[in-house]
Structure 1
Amino acid sequence: MPYVITEACISVKDRSCVDVCPVDCIYEGEDQLYINPDECIDCGACEPECPVTAIFPEEDVPTQLRSFIAKNKDVFEGPNPPGRPSR
């Protein structure tokens, strides 16, 4: 199961998680960072680096934030997927 970035990242976009991701699967969108579920290797390196506790394994996303699972997937299926943040 991939990791998911949730609501706490909106407008924060701290890039600590990007720096530790071994497969570069975290991308910057207009309002938050997103994890590409097809590229995520479920290593968990990003989760402890998030200063706002926005990252969860998909199966552990809190009930009130479950819509972010689809949001993370859908953003990569649209016509303009997010670009990679600068390091």
Structure 2
Amino acid sequence: MTHVVTESCIRCKYTDCVDVCPVDCFREGPNFLTIDPDECIDCAVCIPECPVSAIYAEEDLPKDQMHMIQLNEELAQLPGWKSITKRKEPLPDADDWKDKTGKLPQLLR
């Protein structure tokens, strides 16, 4: 099992979670963070750090977010999605997007 970043992160990209990750399993894309399932050790310290509650243990993932398991794995392997290990500012309009749902079409690869 691993942890999964859900659609809530899209267009927000708060990075509070990366500061606490002991194995640097987060990868950064243009407007989303993903967790590399090959690196994640299931410690769960990232879950309470996310201000938009976008991170779940795979077994606790809401049914409408199950597609994000495969997507996290796929995106973590893309060459342009590099490891992120230090907190950065969220996207400039993150507060405008943090409560929106159905953001998958907004995902930039």
Q: Calculate the TM-score normalised by the size of structure 2.
A: 0.74
Match of 2:65 in 1: 65
**Where does structure 1 lack aligned partners over 5 or more consecutive residues?**
none
**Where does structure 2 lack aligned partners over 5 or more consecutive residues?**
87-109
Shift of 1:31: 2.3
**1:34-82: per-residue Cα shift (whole Å, max 9, x none)?**
000000000000000000000000111100111111100111344x251
Q: How many pairs does the alignment contain?
A: 86
Match of 1:83 in 2: 82
Return the alpha-carbon distance in structure 1 between the equivalents of residues 27 and 76 of structure 2.
10
Return the alpha-carbon distance in structure 1 between the equivalents of residues 54 and 80 of structure 2.
20
Q: Larger radius of gyration, structure 1 or 2?
A: 2
Return the alpha-carbon distance in structure 1 between the equivalents of residues 85 and 35 of structure 2.
15
The answer to whether the Cα contact below 8 Å between 2:35 and 2:76 also exists between their aligned partners in 1 is: no
Q: Percent identity?
A: 48
Q: Which has the higher contact order (CA 8 A, sep 6+)?
A: 2
Do structure 1's residue 28 and structure 2's residue 28 form an aligned pair? yes
